[in-house]
Structure 1
Amino acid sequence: MPHRSAPPADELADGSEPLQRRRRKEARPQELLDAALALFVEKGFAAARAEEVAQRAGVSKGTLYLYFPSKEELLKAVITQNLGSRIVAGAELVAAHPGTATELLNVILVDWWTQLYDSPAAGVFKLVITEVRNFPEIAGFYLREVVQPAHDLLGAVLRRGIAAGEFRDVPIDHAVHSLVLPLIMVCLHRHSLGACQVDWQIEGRDFIGQHVQLVLAGLRAGAPNPA
């Protein structure tokens, strides 16, 4: 009877891959995105090389390109995974929330943004603000996938509060910018001055809560109109 050689170490008798190896492949895109975000924030998108991303993720450059055909596509995936998907989840929360607009803004802007601030995803703002000018395609993608959906989401909550008599009638666009831009800046600070050994620092979590309460106080119906 002819001798039958054993299957390779990475292959089962039926020709399929072991479960551990399949799980490793399934986890690889996330490992590449995590490595890319960390390296892009650390070195800058323009300065970081695809080879370095692959090396940090423990794979070859060829493997990286199997999942992401270019460094620009890799950055788009980083933006989508870290910010775009969060905004989609926020929209689902808004649609299902039965409470007041004030409660909803507290959930979105305090709870959600604190989680964002505490995660590596906050570094995406540094990438976009410091480098997007040199990459128009990325700028357009960021506007479509992050800026406009987030603006529409918060605008809808403000309109809900105005219609219910909870908030005074304010210019929606300016109100959204007033809510969001300081929160973006505190994330930027964490990954710029906040990453340096300097005496002047911002306690981001406290700032987020205090900022949102300050703006909400100005939005409430019956609040003095600064105009």
Structure 2
Amino acid sequence: MASPLNFCEIAATVRAKRERRKEARPGELLAAALDLFVEKGFAATRAEEVAKRAGVSKGTLFLYFSSKEELFKAVVRENISGRFGEWATELENYQGSSAELLRYCMLTWWGRVGSTKASGISKLMMSEAGNFPELAAFFQQEVIQPGDDLIRRILQRGVDSGEFRPIDMQYGVYAITAAMIFLTMWKHSKGACGDARLDLVPEEYIAVQVQTILHGISATPQVPLSN
């Protein structure tokens, strides 16, 4: 028969496990929600599905997140927008050239976001933004605008140092984001296409895109286009 001390130890262990489980639940719910949002889209994902995949009840989910919209926002912050502070610090501390920084930025984005399931959030927003204007505005404010600002700072760094010629910054940002959006769409659509010609190595694709972009914005004499 277990002694009172053993019962106390067992009870303490059970409480500790419950506390750890409770602390882990928000992360488990966010991981389950990310999986389902990317697999099914926002509209088709139901709260009870997220709860079931996370191994909790629907009521438990709503203890942490007041609605499916708030759950989606938390997923975006956990996987993308919550990391902009870290990325901005890296930009400030980068010691290399602006060309090297641009290459680093694009490769790092692919490694940390683009190659992960989180990049499917961008594809989701492109397809469903029109039906959920509040979420579209949230995504614009928390992801698109900070991302554009970060790229604009890299381009301006190059212009200020004389590496890049002055350009229209907004369209310069679009030139870079367009390349990355294509890579995101390729990742999340290639399986459905089934076309071997769509196979590509992301790092090689980025290297070519960087070279193409730099060729257009490097500080070299411009040759007028012939008519």
Q: Into which bin does the TM-score normalised by the smaller protein fall?
A: 0.7 to 0.9
Unaligned runs of at least 5 residues, structure 2: none
Match of 1:198 in 2: 194
Higher helix proportion (structure 1 or 2): 2
Unpaired segments ≥5 residues, structure 1: none
Is the counterpart of residue 88 in structure 1 residue 78 in structure 2? no
User: Residue 209 of structure 2 aligns to which amino acid in structure 1?
Assistant: H
Tell me the equivalent position of 1:165.
162
| TM-fit CA distance, 1:148 | 0.8
Q: What TM-score, normalized to structure 1?
A: 0.87
> Compared with structure 1, are the counterparts of its residues 195 and 78 closer, same or farther at alpha carbon in structure 2 (3 Å cutoff)?
farther
- CA deviation vs aligned residue, 1:112-157 (integer Å, no higher than 9, x gap): 2233222111111111111111111101111110111111111111
2:210 maps to a residue whose letter is V
Aligned to 1:216: 214
Report which stretch shifted further, 201-210 or 127-136: 201-210
The letter of the residue matching 2:20 is R
Q: Percent identity?
A: 43
Letter in 2 for 1:53: V
SS in 1 for 2:166: coil
1:114 alignment partner, SS class: helix
From 186, 206, 214, the counterpart of 1:189:
186
The number of equivalent residue pairs is: 220
Of 119, 131, 134, the match for 1:134:
131
Structure 1 residue 197 displacement after superposition: 5.8
What is residue 57 of structure 2 aligned with on the other side? 60
State the 1:158 CA deviation: 0.8
SS in structure 1 of the partner of residue 15 of structure 2: coil
CA change 1:223–1:64 in 2 (3 A) is farther
How far apart in 1 are the matches of 2:115 and 2:164?
30
C-alpha separation in 1, matches of 2:168 and 2:103? 20
Superposition RMSD in Å: 2.4
